Amino acid sequence: MSEFSSIIVTDCGSTTTKAIWFKKDNNVWKVLHQAEAPTTVEKPLADVTIGVSNAFRNLEKVSDLILLNNDQVDSVQNTNYDLYCSTSSAGGGLQMLVMGIMSELSTKAASKAALGGGAIVLSEISLDDEATFFERVKELRDLRPDIILIAGGVEGGGFDQVRELVEILISAEPKNRFSTDILNPAKIPVIYAGTSNVIEELRKIIEKNFSLTVVPNLMPNIQVDNFHPAREAIHDVFLSHVMSQAPGYSKLLEWSDKEVIPTPVAVSKIISAVARNLNTSILASDIGGATTDIFSVRDISGANFNSEDKENKTIEFGECERSVSANLGMSYSIGNVLKNSSIERIAQWLPFEVDQDWISEVIWNKMYRPTSLPDTKKELLLEQAVAREALRLSLQHHADLVGGVPSAKKEKGISSFFNLEEESGFKIDQIDFILGSGGVVSHAPNRGSATLMLLDSFRPKGVTFLAVDSIFMLPHLGSLSQVYESASLEIFLNECIIPLGTVVSPKAMHKSLIAGSEIAKVNLGDNKSQILKSGELVVIPLKAKEIMQVEVVPLSKKLDLGLGGGKKIKSTVKGGYSGLIFDTRDLDQHLKSDRKSQIKNVINWQSVLDIN
């Protein structure tokens, strides 16, 4: 591979196309310039490359260099940069519908495969749901997905059920989302990842009207899942079918020197690279106007990150897992946050008396005017309160989705098929690095506000490093990692993330440890120590890039810091804008408190984190 030192990456979002110019200078990679322009995938322009060209023109303005050749992006003919890459979620991103026999088995597995392939799952159709045949057919016709994924049946079984799913598909005759030729519409791609004993019949039935891709079974038996082949097929079909039909994308594919990948796939790539290279489990959230994405990479080796000999542990990371809460956001779908939470849960995060009607009015006004910004400090605090609930609900959705496809108990046979249990569940104490992203978090006027939002939403356990993405360059870094992973990591650490600090929080506290009781002694080095009490938030100043050796010794066996009741932990912690934080609050009890107590609590927490 040739040596590159100047790379431009665009991310074509639903509303904005953002270009970032990465440059290697004195052997150090950095962000040279950034610019953006409105995305132009929708009518009347209907050509994504117009938005890309406009973003390049804005880069030209800030750099005083010529980057376009006759309105074309062409790195070969241009001496001012070496390479051009792009990601895309324009036009709503990759939209898929999944079909399976059982909602908690094959359909859930299909959803996980689709999400891992960078898609938004429009809907799930299962034979065991309550919908009628007519309702399923109507849904398929109305949604117009880019790709349909069918799963179901362990190897050698599920023959009749898969045929029933195919009958629904054939009866619906769904149309391609980007197809404009009514008489000869483009075939919708169908990926089949179910039992292999129906493949030949499947080809005969659907290949006339659909573009069929067959991959190995997602669940060859009830103990094993196999997502990788389906995700690879989704990626290939996205490039060969979806992108080629989307407005202007055939030209963008010619411009780009590397494959154009879905924005979520790019984010997954950089999150996975960070986990491997920093040797840490990670959870990243991106809260937007319409959706909230959660990405996580967990340690699957069983190593305990709170142990004293972490450096001697062999860490093995699973793949990056992703969930999309398509109805939870801060503008277009803010009403769904209220619907799925409650006014009471939102009000608990506000440091002032509030009229419930006012909360409803502000939230619904935001939905009707999604681009508006808070006019007052109270409205800003309400927006941040809603964000806490959106993130909390999205994490619940993530845990439900990625926690593992239920399977039959191993000690029982197929006769006990319907006796299901989760093989593995997502737990926040598996996470040692939380990265927040999205306008309400990344652009909070006070970094302490971002810290408190992450603490209240995700409730980290053990020892957890907190940071925010400064300008949401994760998609660009994921694309860059295809060329130079080391460069993407260098920029991630030096220019992308803003460190908030490290939080130490109990994994579990017995209810008998009442608020205000002494529960642990913290040894900070240089003969400095501090007593921790239950129900408090404590901050010790520790600047970014500063580190500290910390030992936390429980004063009761009823306190578990991650290694078991009464056992101490030692850790090397990193600082940030909020320093070193000790969080022993009981947020469930906070919710149950009366409003005066809630207000008092929030005011105290804001004071501790220096939130004005």
- Residue 2: what pLDDT? 59
- Residue 3: what pLDDT? 83
Residues in Cβ contact with 136 at an 8 Å cutoff, skipping those fewer than 6 apart: 125, 168, 172
- Residue 275: what pLDDT? 94
> What predicted TM-score, i.e. pTM, was given to this entire model?
0.86
Q: What does 492-538 look like in DSSP terms, one character per residue?
A: IIIIIEEEEEEEEE-SEE-TTS-TT-EEEEEEEETTEEEEEETT-EE
Q: What DSSP state is assigned to residue 176? A: P
CB 262 within 8 A of CB 94: yes
CB 376 within 8 A of CB 389: no
Candidates 3.50.50.60, 3.40.630.30, 3.30.420.40, 2.30.30.40; CATH matching 6-90: 3.30.420.40
Candidates 3.90.1150.10, 3.40.50.2000, 3.40.50.2300, 3.40.50.9100; CATH matching 93-250: 3.40.50.2300
- Residue 525: what pLDDT? 80
* Range(s) of the chain covered by CATH 3.30.420.40: 6-90
The strand pairing partners of 528, in sequence order, are 525
Ranges of the chain with pLDDT below 70? 1-2, 179-185, 302-314, 403-424
How much of the chain is in helix, strand and coil states, percent to nearest 5?
35, 25, 40
* Range(s) of the chain covered by CATH 3.40.50.2300: 93-250
Length of the chain: 612
Cα distances from 305 to residues 80, 313, 314, in angstroms, run 45, 9, 11
- Residue 52: what pLDDT? 96
Tell me: the pLDDT tens digits for 224-236? 888 989 999 998 8
- Residue 512: what pLDDT? 82
Residues in Cβ contact with 186 at an 8 Å cutoff, skipping those fewer than 6 apart: 176, 178, 179, 241, 245
The C-alpha R_g of the chain, in whole angstroms, comes to 25
Return the closest-CA partner of residue 432 out of 573, 332, 556.
Answer: 573
